[in-house]
Structure 1
Amino acid sequence: MERTAVNPWDWSIKLGYNQAEVIDGATRQVICAGQTAVDGQGTPQHQGDMRAQISLALDNLEAVLKGAGMDLSNVVKLGIYATDVDEALKNFDLMGMRFGPHRVSPPMTLLGVTRLAIPGLMFEIEATAAA
């Protein structure tokens, strides 16, 4: 699979994502459901701690991708939902720490929402991956 970044402007690169990517040669896609800060039994974790919730949601996303034989380097699109966008952005260094070593900057959308499906959850990340 070959990824070609499309960035008519450079401002999004500074924020850690591309405006678009052309994906050539992919033969397999994985569509991941939104991952949140829940444990293996689906119980919410880290009430009131956005940073810990982002970290656990990323752990859960990595576990799903691993189960599909992929990792964060395969992610080609992200959708992120946060109940407090400002607080999420304060902790977005976690995204760079996870995706940076894979040298990918997938296009993403970050939306502020009133609440997530399970009360107490503040952050949800969904991904499309390809190989």
Structure 2
Amino acid sequence: MKRTAVNPWEWNIKFGFHQAELVEGHSRMLVCAGQTSLDENGEVAHAGDMAAQIGLCLDNVETILHEAGMKLSDVVRLNMYTTDVEQFLQHVGVMGRRLEAAGIAPPGTMLQVSGLAFPGLVVELEVTALA
């Protein structure tokens, strides 16, 4: 699979994402439901703790990717939903370090929402992966 960053501007690079990516030569696509800070029993973990929830969301994303025979480096789109953008941005390094280690800066959208599926959830991550 070949990925080519498309960045007509460069301001976004300091925020860890590309404006777009041209992806060629893939044969499989995984469309993943939004992943939250739910544990293996479907219970909210780390209620209200943005940093811990970002970490568990990514753990859950990676678990799904692994089940599909993929890895974090296969993610080509990452949408972020949060109940508090300011607080999310204070803790985005939790995610940024993992994406950087995987060698990716996927395009996506960040939205502030009034609530998520269960009380106590403050972040949800939605990914698309290609391999």
TMscore range, shorter length: over 0.9
Q: Percent identity?
A: 52
- The TM-score with structure 1 as length reference comes to 0.98
State TM-score, norm by structure 2: 0.98
User: 4+ residue stretches of structure 1 with deviation over 6 A?
Assistant: none
Deviation at 1:120, TM superposition (A): 1.0
Structure 1 runs not aligned, ≥5 long:
none
Q: Supply the RMSD in Å over aligned alpha carbons.
A: 0.6
1:113 deviates by 0.2
Amino acid at match of 1:113: V
Partner of 1:14: 14
Q: Quick check: 1:61 aligned with 2:73?
A: no
Q: Residues of 2 paired with 1:95 and 1:54: CA distance?
A: 7
Aligned counterpart, 2:31: 31
The aligned length equals 131
Map 1:1-131 → 2, pairs under 5 A? 1-131=1-131
Is the partner of 1:77 in helix, strand or coil?
strand
Amino acid at match of 1:58: L
As a proportion of its length, which structure holds more strand? 1
Residues 27-65 of structure 1: per-residue CA shift (max 9 Å, x gap): 100001000001001100111211111111111001010
- Match of 2:82, as an amino acid? A
